[in-house]
A and B are shown apart, each in its own frame.
Chain A
Amino acid sequence: MPKIIAIHSFRGGTGKSNTTANLACLLAQKGQRVGIVDTDIQSPGIHVLFNLDPREISCSLNDFLWGKCEIESAAYDVSKMIEPQTDGKLFLIPSSIRTGDIARVLHYGYDINLLKEGYQKLTERLSLDYLFIDTHPGLNEETLMSIAIADILLIILRPDQQDYQGTAVTVEVSRQLEVPGMFLIVNKVPDVFAHEELAVKVASTYQCEVAGVLPHADEMMTLASSGIFSMQYPDHAVSREMDKIIQRITG
């Protein structure tokens, strides 16, 4: 059974898209067939990490949702980002970055049945093992849909009070949606924090397993939004911790 993994954070700027891209790449590197759907229709951005030129995107998630194309024609093979190359495959289903398209989806919304159907077709036709869903921050209707469909939900937070409060709401709402697997990832953690203690504290506060604590990395800042960190710095502490996250959520 292919697994749908939704990645969410209560606020923006937690490194959600970045973490999604890295985890997906690491899984593909291990020989898995992986897809990423950018459902952050309001502020799409993950295509930048995969150096996907917007002019190349003839068909996007928006087009599928309006019945203009099949979902698999919105899937772009970005396996070239995997280093070193393996049998694994990586596909990206981007959102349209055209402002008209964005406004239209926000206005009319879309139906969960359609989305679920689309994911099913996608996983079947591309024989995917994992499908990552990059969501929009906050808890709007579309985001709730992604959480409802997911087999595994990863909630990313930074160690600060606003994220702590928002995460508490997300965790509770997701529990009510009966998501089968839920994990927390604490991101951008300064070195002065005792990482293991933080993990224990977060886990006990939310009564939810912590899949990993990712240290703050200056190198990640310099890489900014071009390229996949864990592919370029495979031995970095951040990449190693991401590897552990993969083992925890798939193991």
Chain B
Amino acid sequence: MKLSAAKIILIGCGLGIVYGLLNGFSNAFLLPSAPIISLRPQIALPMIVGIIGHPLAGFITGFTGNIIGDGISGFGFWKFWNWHIANGLMGLIPGLIRYRGITRIATVREFGILQVSIILACGIGVGFAVVMDVLFLHFMIFPSSLHAWILPAFLTDVVNGFVLVPVALVLTGAILITLETRTIMMITALLIIAVLATAGSITWAVLDDLVSHQAMVRNFYIAAIVSVLLLVIGFLASIVFVRKMTDPLTKITRAAESVEKGSYDLETLDGISGRNDELGRLARVFEQMAGKVLEREKKLQKQVEELQIKIDREKQIADVAEIVETEYFRSLKEKARKFRAS
């Protein structure tokens, strides 16, 4: 989308208010073991604005929204300014994928870049807030802030972004449903469900059995780190697997398109037709079919090029003479002349 500066600011502030209200609301429900962090699904909002609208609009949404949220929750409007900027960065960074030429997501590669950009956005955002705190604000006490504050913020943001941003982009059409995106999203969804179910059960189901608060926090901390690691590693692995599966199909499709265009660029099939599976067979059958079509087309082309009007002049002269050298023809010619003169 091409937006004017005024529109970027308007959209950023407008959705920033929505984001702020949602923050204010969710801050009332803090995560167990994390005194100032809530499970914030709304973090996906600035990311979505950044991707669909404009990176700067995403930044403004995150930035203003966090100010409003903090204000409503009584944290003070400007006290945690580093986190305002951190939220802004989370809205800004995923939007930058457009500068890698990605405006619509249709392939596994593009989907991978999107999800990695979300993880990076969370890492950079939270990292920025921590560095600013260490340098200027000194609110954090290490190491307890690490599990009370930093890690819960990072982990919930990653998981929320990872799950909700693709859903929103599918609904708005920014992710095209192709064979590639459908497959990678299906596998990603399974991965998320598996990881979150495991992590959730570890975190909440065993809460009662834990003796001390410290043990509970430790438990949460380990479960969350393991889930995000599993999510990231599992996601990267599934990208590799899905690409292995969809690449040959994409190449066969390209070959088919080249036949449609008439360029018969079948080299992309070279690596596939040797395979022993269904795709190999498809590629071989396609190559044969395209070969036949090309042959027929060439033959026809040749016929047209050879289009010659061959006239046997000797025969023509003889045939003409047979007609014009008759008495009838001579008298006809004479009469025709008279008609035309009259």
Contact check: which of B304, B323, B336 meets A192 at CB < 8 Å? B304
Chain B residues, CB < 8 A from A145: 332
Q: A113 to B335, alpha carbons, bound, how many Å?
A: 8
Do A172 and B309 touch across chains, with their CB atoms under 8 A apart? no
Contact A148 to B336, CB < 8 A, known contacts A172-B316, A173-B320? yes
Give residues of chain A (144-167) contacting chain B, Cβ–Cβ below 8 Å: 144-145, 148-149, 159, 161, 164-165
Question: Is A231's beta carbon under 8 Å from chain B?
Answer: no
Output the nearest chain A residue to B301 by Cβ-Cβ distance: A192
Do A193 and B311 touch across chains, with their CB atoms under 8 A apart? no
Contact A177 to B333, CB < 8 A, known contacts A144-B323, A164-B311? yes
Do B320 and A177 touch across chains, with their CB atoms under 8 A apart? no
* A55 CB to nearest chain B CB (Å): 36
Contact A198 to B307, CB < 8 A, known contacts A113-B335, A148-B335, A192-B300? yes
Question: Is B324's beta carbon under 8 Å from chain A?
Answer: yes
Do B316 and A164 touch across chains, with their CB atoms under 8 A apart? no
Do B323 and A193 touch across chains, with their CB atoms under 8 A apart? no
Query: Chain B, 309-337, contact with A by CB distance < 8 Å: what is the 0/1 string?
Result: 11110011001100110001100110111
Q: A79 to B251, alpha carbons, bound, how many Å?
A: 60
Contact check: which of A169, A176, A193 meets B319 at CB < 8 Å? A169
Q: A149 to B338, alpha carbons, bound, how many Å?
A: 10
Contact check: which of B316, B329, B340 meets A168 at CB < 8 Å? B316
* B187 CB to nearest chain A CB (Å): 47
Do A112 and B323 touch across chains, with their CB atoms under 8 A apart? no
Q: A173 to B328, alpha carbons, bound, how many Å?
A: 13
Output the nearest chain B residue to A179 by Cβ-Cβ distance: B336
Q: A177 to B311, alpha carbons, bound, how many Å?
A: 21
Output the nearest chain B residue to A144 by Cβ-Cβ distance: B332
Do A201 and B337 touch across chains, with their CB atoms under 8 A apart? no
Do A159 and B332 touch across chains, with their CB atoms under 8 A apart? no
From B312, B316, B336, residue with most partner A Cβ within 10 Å: B336
Question: Is B339's beta carbon under 8 Å from chain A?
Answer: yes
Question: Is A13's beta carbon under 8 Å from chain B?
Answer: no
Do A112 and B337 touch across chains, with their CB atoms under 8 A apart? no
Contact check: which of B300, B311, B340 meets A180 at CB < 8 Å? B340
Chain A residues, CB < 8 A from B324: 173, 176
Q: A112 to B335, alpha carbons, bound, how many Å?
A: 8
Output the nearest chain A residue to B318 by Cβ-Cβ distance: A169
Do B312 and A165 touch across chains, with their CB atoms under 8 A apart? yes
Query: Chain A, 198-219, contact with B by CB distance < 8 Å: what is the 0/1 string?
Result: 1001100100000000000000
Bin chain A's interface residue count: 20 to 34
Contact A205 to B309, CB < 8 A, known contacts A173-B323, A180-B340, A192-B304? yes
* A66 CB to nearest chain B CB (Å): 21
Output the nearest chain B residue to A141 by Cβ-Cβ distance: B328
Q: A51 to B304, alpha carbons, bound, how many Å?
A: 38
Q: A173 to B336, alpha carbons, bound, how many Å?
A: 13
Question: Is A194's beta carbon under 8 Å from chain B?
Answer: yes
Do A168 and B336 touch across chains, with their CB atoms under 8 A apart? no
Output the nearest chain A residue to B308 by Cβ-Cβ distance: A201
Q: A119 to B142, alpha carbons, bound, how many Å?
A: 115
Chain B residues, CB < 8 A from A116: 339
Chain B residues, CB < 8 A from A139: 323
Q: A57 to B301, alpha carbons, bound, how many Å?
A: 50
* A170 CB to nearest chain B CB (Å): 9
Q: A48 to B340, alpha carbons, bound, how many Å?
A: 33
Q: A145 to B336, alpha carbons, bound, how many Å?
A: 9
Q: A113 to B331, alpha carbons, bound, how many Å?
A: 12
Question: Is A77's beta carbon under 8 Å from chain B?
Answer: no
Q: A180 to B340, alpha carbons, bound, how many Å?
A: 9
Chain A residues, CB < 8 A from B304: 192-194
Q: A168 to B307, alpha carbons, bound, how many Å?
A: 17
Do B333 and A176 touch across chains, with their CB atoms under 8 A apart? yes
Do A169 and B316 touch across chains, with their CB atoms under 8 A apart? yes
Give residues of chain B (223-274) contacting chain A, Cβ–Cβ below 8 Å: none
The 10 closest A-B pairs by CB, nearest first: A148-B336, A169-B319, A205-B309, A172-B320, A168-B316, A168-B311, A164-B309, A176-B324, A148-B332, A173-B323
29 A-B residue pairs with CB within 8 Å: A139-B323, A141-B328, A144-B323, A144-B329, A148-B333, A148-B335, A148-B339, A161-B310, A164-B310, A165-B310, A165-B315, A165-B316, A168-B316, A169-B316, A169-B319, A169-B323, A172-B316, A173-B320, A176-B329, A178-B336, A180-B340, A192-B300, A192-B303, A193-B304, A194-B304, A197-B307, A198-B307, A201-B307, A205-B309
Interface set of B (CB-CB < 8 Å, partner A): 300, 303-304, 307, 309-312, 315-316, 319-320, 323-324, 328-329, 332-333, 335-337, 339-340
